[in-house]
Amino acid sequence: MDDMDFPTPDVQIESVDPDDLKERIDAGEDVTLLDTRMKSDYDEWRIDGENVESINVPYFEFLDEEIDDDVLAQIPDDREITVLCAKGGSSEYVAGALKERGYEVDHLEEGMNGWARIYEAVEVERYDGAGTLVQYQRPSSGCLGYFVYDDDEAAVIDPLRAFTDRYLDDAEELGVDLTYAIDTHVHADHISGVRALDAVGAEGVIPEASVDRGVTYADEMTLAADGDEFQVGDVTIETVSTPGHTSGMTSYLIDGELLATGDGLFVESVARPDLEEGDDGAPEAAAQLYESLQERVLTLPDDTLIGGAHFSDAAEPADDGTYTAPIGQIEEEMAALTMDEDEFVELILSDMPPRPANYEEIIPTNLGQQTADDDEAFELELGPNNCAASQDSLAGD
């Protein structure tokens, strides 16, 4: 909708920086949002929070000079409203129309596209290995990544192409060289940054098992097999094969302290098994996931931290603000992890959420079978990740 040409409002409209809006939400301020995107877009992906009131009224309801009273009745007039849309065009127009009618309003810069550019780094305080471990968080999609550094070296796990410069800038600021860029698997929800970082000097690492899916650039990458180790200063990153979400799904144990599980296990859910072979192959993949969790993950010490590649609205951050939790705690809270295999498979397959937006284009792009420029790549990954099984059926009582 923001490709349309909207008239410039006759009144001055203040804009809100996405980072500032995120800070207000995180600080617990009450925030009221008027989202003017189409209902289908709003239902799929929006800004939420315990202290966020979100109202959806599509922009076209405000195009007439006389706005319907029923439309205006949906919008509170006793507080500040932040209007948002997809890219920032219609929201400024709608905010102007409301301000002319006495509402206290501003609008979100670049809309949901601006929100998608927020990328925060939070230190994992419970990590007790060598060096320092940071979790990257992208609130718009729930994507998580990991940056570990020690001495003059660093590695990033599950980097996003849209934030290639961010990893390089962070490394430069810390005075370290970005030695490795590592993927846990062929992602279905975002464009990987491994090849982009490999092109500027980091050593790109992909799971050896993912090559059978048709990766076209395997000869240019280091292939990680089960048990392989990568050294970053005094930090040891051990490769742990954990197939299930995909046949090549691979976790990385960072100095024996945190298992970066990719999409295999999250703090609030487990992987969905249908993104590689579809519905027909999902039962076999779910059984494979069960075996990986039981034999490769839950056998680690209970205090080993789990850090997935995503978090959902159902996830609760730890005290340090990261989406990490000890294996023992996750096993206690997630009933699916204590089931036998048949129960587990039946549960996982019983309530599958919608597949990630544009996954049929994102997967071949990550395989190198098709290309996308930076703008196209960014557009492809907008929206929720949906790489987990439904949280509603997985939690314990």
Rg of the chain taking only CA atoms, in angstroms: 22
Residue 332: closest CA among 253, 395, 272: 395
Q: Which helix (H) or strand (E) holds 290?
A: helix 278-292
Rounded Cα distance between 112 and 35, Å, is 10
CA distances from 209 to 13, 244, 319, 327, 371 (A): 53, 12, 35, 25, 22
List, in order, residues 6 or more apart from 349 with CB less than 8 Å away.
273, 282, 283, 286
Residue 277: closest CA among 241, 310, 244: 244
**Contact yes or no for 254/130 (Cβ under 8 A):** no
- Residue burial 36-63, b: 16+ Cβ < 10 Å; e: rest: bbbeebbeebbbebeebeeebbbbebbe
The single residue of 34, 85, 112, 130 carrying the catalytic annotation is 85
Instruction: Specify the 3-state DSSP secondary structure of 143.
Output: strand
| DSSP code, position 124 | -
Instruction: Specify the 3-state DSSP secondary structure of 80.
Output: coil
Rounded Cα distance between 249 and 262, Å, is 7
CA distances from 312 to 7, 143, 211 (A): 37, 9, 29
Residue 25, token pair as written in the block: 């939400």
**Beta-sheet pairing, 105-108 with 15-16:** parallel
Q: Write the Ramachandran bin of 13: left for phi over 0, alpha for psi from -120 to 50, otherwise beta.
A: beta
Number of H helices, E strands in the chain: 12, 18
Residue 387 designated active-site = no
Catalytic residues: 85
